[in-house]
Amino acid sequence: MTTTDRPLPQVSQNELQAMAYRDPLTGLGNRYRLRDKVRAVATERADDPAPFTIGIANLDGFKPINDLFGSAAGDEILCQVAHRLKACIPDGATVTRHDGDEFAFLLPLIFEKTSAERLGQMIKEVLSAPYDLGDRNVRLSASFGFAIYPFAGEEFEDLLKSAETALYRSKRRGRGQITVYSREIAQEMKRATQLEQALRNAIIADAVDVHFQPIVRIRDGAVLGFEALARWNDADLGFVSPAIFVPLAEERGFIDALSEALLRKAAEAALAWPRDMFLSFNLSSAQLMDPGTALSILSTLSRVGLDPSRVELEITETAVMSSADTAQRIINDLRRVGIRISLDDFGTGQSSLGRLRDFTFDKVKIDRAFVSQITTDRASEHIVKAIVAMCEGLDLQVVAEGIETSADAAKLKELGCSMGQGYLYGRPIDAQATLAYLQGCKRATEAHTA
């Protein structure tokens, strides 16, 4: 009998069923195992529906590690995670591999929010210990979403959806967060989804506007350029703060479309300004992680016809550090064509001096937290003085943000700060009002020199 003639080994019905309910990588149960376990517990408690909890854990930052070290290392980490979870979950609980880098739990003896949060904290600490990959160790954090039966849903699908909603909220808040589903959280997420749809529609309708705030030479108040600031006034929602809608666009993955629309409008407005005035525009952390950012910006400027040398892009230290290598390439590509790069909110990051050494900037903006107290707090005064002196030594221009009084301006002038912006010089106004503002500045200058 040849090899090809041999009968294939028979697989029993029980073995097939076991395979259908098991994750082949980790040996844990899968989503179907979780579903059946949850339904069984719910059936047991049908007459007296005592609460129980399901949870989902998502590994924060797993994809970059997987990309960096390879899928074999990623698989090894997932197996180590599974081992840790089996060892630390309470008696009677079930852990499954839910999907990719997500694991799910059935916790029959967790009845309320505080217990779920306490368990989540314990599991988070267990998962945060280093993972051994042979020649290296890596660390991960995890985010959690919990849902309590029957308050968060009586059917498996509803309960799971509630846990996913809670997890999504945790991911929105940052790494290592723990959220237990509630109706308030559901409403919050519903509002965010409605806001997202309204913002997407506003971008399509070109209804998100740009306002401009002057950046001046402190010595004589002469306008040198304008910072572009996003403004959105929705017909139904009213005024929506950029502190809300810009992070939402980043989180939901359409910051590129928003930024492109805003840059186009800002660049078109800048064409009407005197040619020696610059346009300052903010880049988000998501854009500094996208290799296509430089090309997108240059394409927009080219279509509008604005000289790149009149453009200055503001970035924060946090944004730079989100993906340092990609950010460095983007910065180099932009500076190569004459665009200047400004480090925004200087003094508020963890290692700003290191960023000045590692990256090439043209300008530093001193955060308003120091400027607002410069005349009343000696520490703030000395910090600003030190920043100005350091930037002078590094051949960097300096802008002080948040100047609101003439006393602030006088002190900054005394300390050698050359440029500033703030309500003392002008609040953000739309493109048409900006032209009127420039006409007023021109008339004032002509009257002064006459």
For the chain, the average pLDDT equals 89
> Which listed CATH number (3.40.50.880, 3.30.70.270, 3.30.70.360, 3.60.60.10) goes with 13-181?
3.30.70.270
Q: How far is C-alpha 286 from the chain's CA centre?
A: 7
Averaged pLDDT for residues 380-404: 91
The answer to whether the beta carbons of residues 251 and 192 sit under 8 Å apart is no
> Which listed CATH number (3.20.20.450, 3.30.360.10, 3.40.50.620, 2.30.30.90) goes with 192-449?
3.20.20.450
The answer to whether the beta carbons of residues 143 and 167 sit under 8 Å apart is yes
Averaged pLDDT for residues 441-445: 78
Averaged pLDDT for residues 253-260: 93
Residue 297 has a pLDDT of 96
The domain limits of the chain are: 13-181, 192-449
* pLDDT level of residue 7 (50, 70, 90 thresholds): low
Residue 190 has a pLDDT of 85
Lowest average pLDDT, out of 54-58, 85-89, 171-175, 218-222, goes to 171-175
SS3 content of the chain, % helix, strand, coil (to 5): 50, 20, 30
For residue 319, pLDDT beyond 80: no
Give the gyration radius of the chain's Cα atoms.
28
For residue 87, pLDDT beyond 50: yes
* pLDDT level of residue 113 (50, 70, 90 thresholds): very high
Instruction: Render 101-119 in DSSP notation, one character per residue.
Output: TEEEEEETT--SHHHHHHH
For residue 9, pLDDT beyond 60: no
Q: Which two tokens stand for residue 321?
A: 């550090």
Residue 351 has a pLDDT of 47
As beta bridge partners, residue 261 has none
Q: Looking at per-residue confidence, does 68 or 449 come out higher?
A: 68
Q: Would you call 336 helix, strand, or coil by DSSP?
A: helix
Output the pTM of the full model. Answer: 0.72
For residue 1, pLDDT beyond 60: no
Give percent of the chain with pLDDT exceeding 90: 62
Averaged pLDDT for residues 329-345: 92
Averaged pLDDT for residues 127-148: 90
Lowest average pLDDT, out of 6-15, 66-75, 341-350, 397-406, goes to 6-15
Lowest average pLDDT, out of 97-106, 160-169, 317-326, goes to 317-326
- What is the DSSP secondary structure assignment for residue 429, as one 8-state letter? B
Which of 296-310, 337-351, 361-375 has the highest mean predicted lDDT (pLDDT)? 296-310
Residue 16 has a pLDDT of 60
Helix (H) or strand (E) holding 449: helix 431-449
Q: Looking at per-residue confidence, does 319 or 403 come out higher?
A: 403
Examine domains 13-181 and 192-449 and report if their fold is the same.
Answer: no
Q: Which two tokens stand for residue 377?
A: 């707090």
Residue 303 has a pLDDT of 97
Q: How far is C-alpha 409 from the chain's CA centre?
A: 33
* Angstrom distance (rounded) from CA 312 to CA 373: 27
